[in-house]
């Protein structure tokens, strides 16, 4: 007999696909929802993840999260190739799309909502569905498209200009914007607060007419995958709690920079514990 009990109460709702990331002969769990969700849990949040997945993807690293997962024939799958001119991606499979109907009613009052598309799978109208929450958006999945062969390419930010104003904070990478700072400045005019991450160079914060750069500490890079997602979760949580943009950006930058010294989601909890021991920022 199915369990009809309501989902546990949460205080961090994240909506987006987890993914199967394939590089050469290796495959692992990926996607903003995975990296940001595990980070939020390590920061003490009770995380509810609305996602869609399928066979062949190990969700064990997400066991501390509450999952509302649609079953698909295959999980969203990316093939990653690292070439001289950077990373090239192909979208090999796309799981079921996500909308408000997929969010358990008990989770719709979460005080913090993180909309995290990776392949256009999240209904953009969800930015209007949580008027009383702090709304954070990582817009990467709305800023790229794939052709018939699955080859992923950038999509102009103007395609989502109407989605941006409701968000309390938007996080993208400079790569998502075609590495164009002019695009970032134009996009910022449509956002209450825009953060543009730029790998080892740190992050740029755009708020109203102010721009401030947060350099990243120098670290030995092993794997930069997921660093921007870890940044986003830490930034949203700290900002929602304190309202201090600059302190939130500083903490998130340090955490994301440290994250590139390990690979995958498995080390996130230990990393966060070390940083919280050094500076207690989450009650």
CB burial of 34-63 (b: ≥16 within 10 Å; e: otherwise) equals: bbbbbbbbbbebbbbbbbbbbeebebebbe
List pLDDT tens digits, range 161-179: 999 999 999 999 999 999 9
List pLDDT tens digits, range 239-280: 999 999 999 999 999 888 888 777 778 778 767 766 665 555
CATH number for the region 12-278 comes to 3.40.1190.20
> Would you tell me the crossing angle of helices 245-259 and 227-242 to the nearest 10 degrees?
150
Calpha distance 104→9 (Å, rounded): 10
Q: Are 11 and 133 in contact (CB under 8 A)?
A: no
First-last CA distance in the chain? 39
List pLDDT tens digits, range 70-125: 999 999 999 988 766 667 889 999 999 999 999 999 999 999 999 999 999 999 99
The pair phi, psi for residue 103, each rounded to 5°, is -90, 120
Name the least confident of 81-85, 130-134, 141-145: 81-85
- Report the pLDDT value the prediction gives residue 41, as an integer from 0 to 100: 94
Arithmetic mean of pLDDT over the chain = 89
Q: Is the pLDDT of residue 1 over 70?
A: no
Question: What are the Cα distances from residue 228, in Å, to 66, 111, 127, 134, 234?
Answer: 22, 22, 20, 19, 10
Tokens of 64: 């501390």
Considering the entire predicted model, what is its pTM?
0.92
């Amino acid at each position: 007999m199915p369990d009809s009990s309501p989902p546990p109460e949460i205080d961090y709702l994240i909506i987006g696909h987890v993914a199967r990331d394939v590089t050469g002969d290796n495959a692992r769990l990926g996607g903003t929802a995975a990296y940001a969700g595990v980070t939020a849990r390590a920061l003490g949040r009770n995380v509810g993840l609305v996602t869609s997945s399928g066979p062949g993807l190990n969700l064990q690293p997400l066991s501390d999260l509450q999952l509302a997962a649609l079953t698909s024939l295959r999980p969203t799958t990316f093939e990653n190739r690292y070439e001289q001119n950077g990373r090239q991606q192909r979208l090999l499979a796309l799981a079921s799309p996500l909308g408000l109907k997929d969010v358990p009613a008990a989770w719709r009052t979460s005080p913090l909502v993180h909309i995290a598309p990776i392949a256009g799978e999240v209904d953009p109208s969800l930015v209007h569905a949580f008027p009383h929450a702090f709304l954070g958006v990582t817009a990467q999945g709305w800023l790229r498209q794939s052709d018939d062969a699955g080859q992923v390419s950038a999509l102009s930010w103007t395609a989502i200009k109407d989605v941006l104003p409701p968000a309390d904070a938007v996080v993208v990478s400079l790569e998502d914007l075609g590495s164009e700072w002019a695009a970032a400045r134009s996009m910022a005019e449509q956002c209450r607060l825009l953060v543009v991450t730029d790998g080892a160079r740190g992050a740029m914060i755009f708020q109203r007419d102010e721009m401030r750069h947060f350099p990243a500490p120098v670290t030995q890079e092993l794997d930069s995958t997921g660093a921007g997602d870890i940044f986003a979760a830490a930034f949203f949580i700290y900002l929602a709690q304190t309202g201090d943009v600059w302190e939130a950006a500083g903490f998130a930058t340090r955490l994301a920079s440290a994250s590139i010294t390990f690979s995958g989601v498995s080390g996130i909890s230990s990393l966060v514990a070390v940083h919280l021991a050094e500076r207690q920022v989450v009650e």
